[in-house]
Chain A
Amino acid sequence: MKIIVCVKQVPATNEVKMDPVTNTIIREGVESILNPFDTYAIEEAIRIKEKQGAQITALSMGIPSVVTLLQEAVSLGVDDAILLSDRAFAGADTMATAYTLQLGVESIGDYDLILCGKMATDGDTAQVGPMLAEVLGIPQITDVGEILEIGTDFILCRRMTDDGYETVKSKLPAVITVTKEINIPRLPSIAGMKRGKAAKVPVMTSKDFQLEAERIGLSGSPTQVVRTFIPSHDIASEVLTGSPTEQAEALIEKLREQKLLNW
């Protein structure tokens, strides 16, 4: 079985700062990490490999330094990795990203399963996985919390929904996006880190593909970010002081004021 895991580099903090002029994420001075959801996708791929054997390739589109993160993926148990990196890919929205990943996926070829994190923690769109399935013309199961069975040509998953879960069967190849319920990602071992450090990660640029130039990078991105903001959570709280009796009396008074108590 051949598995491709799509991973992305994201800022380590979840308080992302935006450039007010360009409306893009300011990445300077912020440590970069593997998108947390993708670590679950990697772990799931490794578990499949341990259970029934698989060849796992990690695939990412990003800046050249993402090579280190891909080596990290290798240290966890991924067999090899490919980075898609080119100035021409920069500024891509979810559509352009899905198209670029499609190029990478097709260059690897002959795959049975593509695993993605449910979403990336910087953009929170949860669109790239589904769009990738769409451009590849293969089925997708999103928000997977458990893989129940994988056969030679099918996969049976439990996907999380707002009301519970659904059990979905799909033929392979397919794209699966995973949630944090699916497993507990492992830490690398010393042996794994040695493999990661030794791993050579090929970097592919736009020149390595026959591509439709109008579908990549900023110019290939139909999404227009008009404005971004961080929702504020300004819940005012008040601390009651005094002896327990005084605090209890003050609390009752407050509840009465708010008409939450009517005695």
Chain B
Amino acid sequence: MSTEIQPYQVEFDEYLRDESRSVGHADSISFPKNEDELIEIVRKLSKTEIPVTVQGARTGLAAAAVPYGGHLINIGRMTRILGARYDEQDNRFFLTAEPGVLLSQLRKAVSSGEFEIAEPDDLTQAALCRYKAGEWFFSPDPTEASAALAGMVACNASGARSFCYGPVRPYVEALRLVLVDGRTLHIRRGEQKAKGRDFCLNLDDGSYIIGKLPDYAMPKVKNASGYYIEEDMDLIDLFIGGEGTLGIITQIELRLLPMPKAVWGITTFFPDEKSALRFVRGLRGEKEATGVEFSVKPAAIEFFNHKALDLLRIQKQKIAAFAHIQELKATYYNAVYTEFHADSEEKVWEMVEQMNQMLEALGVSPEDTWVANNPRDMEKLLVFRHAVPESVNMLIDQRRQKDPAITKLGTDMAVPDQYLDKIMDMYNGEIQTNGLDYVAFGHIGDNHLHVNILPRDMEDYRKGKALYLQWANAVSAMGGTVSAEHGVGKLKAPFLAVMMTDAGIEQMRALKAVFDPQGHLNPGNMFTMKKEGDA
């Protein structure tokens, strides 16, 4: 039944869209329940000319999982955790999961130690004996916990804590994949590497794929745009952040980290933007920003600008779920959230005291801080942080009632450290010049803000779109990226073209062609296979 390729019917409408709210179309759909079924479906399709779009939980913001014709494979029924492994020598814990396991499901299993593995092998049993709930965690923390693991791997997702721990990439230890022609491959980190820019990838059936890597240099910032390329790279990294264009992920082995003993979150409110930015730079260890030495790396540095706080103040009056957020004093202009992890409360307190010195140097009152040092209070700060994007979505939904063509225009760009002030001036200045409504929030530690333009009408929408493209150019010129975590998908392909130039896109096409000569797998993601001007 579930290897069945079902013709498309209206009851499948929800599978035609993702959280970008773009809607596509499909001719057929399937819901494989395990790897064998998925392989069988792909093999059937490989004998046809039908393009295939793979989708995870459809929380993507760039329409990467939205099909534009052809067949749709939804992996939402492949949701088992399959095994575990403990590496005693390096004290590392690994979990193997099917691609459709949701982040929320993984988190629950990791925190409770209840993995519900149906047929544990010997390694798994041995590992589970060593497992203690509360001692491990999965560090990637994208805000949307209903994302599927494969979606996160395909987009190289990140979260607030990626400032310290990095994106999903380093936590992917092994992948199983099926290529568009039905061949399969099991790739483990460290086992298959490129030689310079040449690679030879061994597949399960003894065949191999030979190719050349693009020679573009990747931006030296947090990045989720375009194929990850480096000389002598580990070939597993081609598939992480590949947006499903090279192969379909059927199994993922993830690495967990030992849980820090002390986790504190602090939200600090600033009277103006300049002092907030100096604080951020200070937290990154740039002593000249505050005059105070700050020697530890925070787990997270997040920012909420004045417009974000203003919006929250309004929504707090209207939405019951936000009513429990502590009072935002009128003097609070914007906020920086910092998270500290350490192996004792005392060590965290030392960090807090250092941070406090910075606040004093900036003339910011240590009274204007919210400190959470236990899971209950951390939850309160999380509600506050998530309330900002949720408020944005509610506002947009309201405006869409007047004009359904309006959508939020959310950026996901990052630039190198030295451009922090410049990029903020650019965002604020150009928004003001254009008379647009907006909020900005996000991962300021990595100079990675989500500027959300909130169009009031189609005129605003058009202006916003133009601005967005203008920013893509500016950010690319600074050596930054057009998408640092959400991926390019279909919606941001024009921006990737700006960032990569024609030559870069052409090289990416050539790399994809080695795996998928017809361009049948996830067509339209990042780039189209046909060059512009082709029939």
Contact = CB atoms under 8 A, between A and B. Distances in A.
Contacts of A33: 374, 376
Contacts of A189: 366-371
B372 A184 contact: no
B203 interface: no
Contact of B356 (A184, A185, A187, A190): A190
Max chain B Cβ within 10 angstroms of own Cβ: one of A185, A187, A244: A187
A191 B376 contact: no
Given A33-B376, A184-B326, A194 B366 contact: yes
B366 A190 contact: yes
Interface string B312-333: 0000000000011111000000
Interface in B352-374: 352, 355-356, 359, 365-372, 374
A contact patch SS:
loop
A229 B352 CA distance: 44
A243 B12 CA distance: 11
A194 B356 CA distance: 11
Given A33-B376, A244-B11, A190 B352 contact: yes
A192 interface: yes
Contacts of A184: 323-327
Nearest to B356: A190
Interface string A6-43: 00000010000000000000000001010000000000
Contact of B370 (A12, A186, A244): A186
B369 A190 contact: yes
A186 B326 contact: yes
Interface range for A: 10 to 19
A191 B364 CA distance: 11
B367 A191 contact: yes
A188 interface: yes
A103 interface: no
A255 B162 CA distance: 50
Contacts of A185: 326
Interface in B370-394: 370-372, 374, 376-377, 380-381
B266 interface: yes
A63 to B, nearest CB: 19
A199 interface: no
Contacts of A193: 352, 371
A189 B364 CA distance: 12
Interface string A181-208: 0001111111111100000000000000
Nearest to B265: A187
A192 B377 CA distance: 15
A31 B377 CA distance: 14
A190 B266 contact: yes
Contacts of B356: 190, 194
B325 A187 contact: no
B129 to A, nearest CB: 21
Max chain B Cβ within 10 angstroms of own Cβ: one of A188, A243, A244: A188
Contacts of A187: 326, 370-372, 377, 380-381
B369 to A, nearest CB: 5
Contact of B366 (A12, A191, A243): A191
Given A184-B325, A184-B327, A191 B369 contact: yes
Nearest to A197: B349
Max chain B Cβ within 10 angstroms of own Cβ: one of A12, A33, A188, A193: A193
Max chain A Cβ within 10 angstroms of own Cβ: one of B325, B352, B366, B374: B366
A186 B267 CA distance: 12
Nearest to B370: A187
Contacts of A186: 326-327, 370
A12 B377 CA distance: 12
Contact of B371 (A12, A31, A190, A244): A190
A243 B6 CA distance: 13
B394 to A, nearest CB: 20
A187 B266 CA distance: 10
Contacts of A190: 266, 352, 355-356, 359, 366-367, 369, 371
A243 B366 CA distance: 58
Contacts of B380: 187
A33 B377 CA distance: 11
Contacts of A12: 376
A194 B371 CA distance: 12
A193 B366 CA distance: 10
Contacts of B381: 187
B338 to A, nearest CB: 11
Given A184-B327, A189-B369, A191-B366, 5 more contacts: A31-B374, A185-B326, A189-B367, A190-B355, A190-B369
16 contacts: A12-B376, A184-B324, A184-B326, A186-B326, A186-B327, A187-B377, A188-B371, A189-B370, A190-B266, A190-B355, A190-B359, A190-B369, A191-B365, A193-B371, A194-B356, A243-B11
Interface of B: 11, 266, 323-327, 352, 355-356, 359, 365-372, 374, 376-377, 380-381
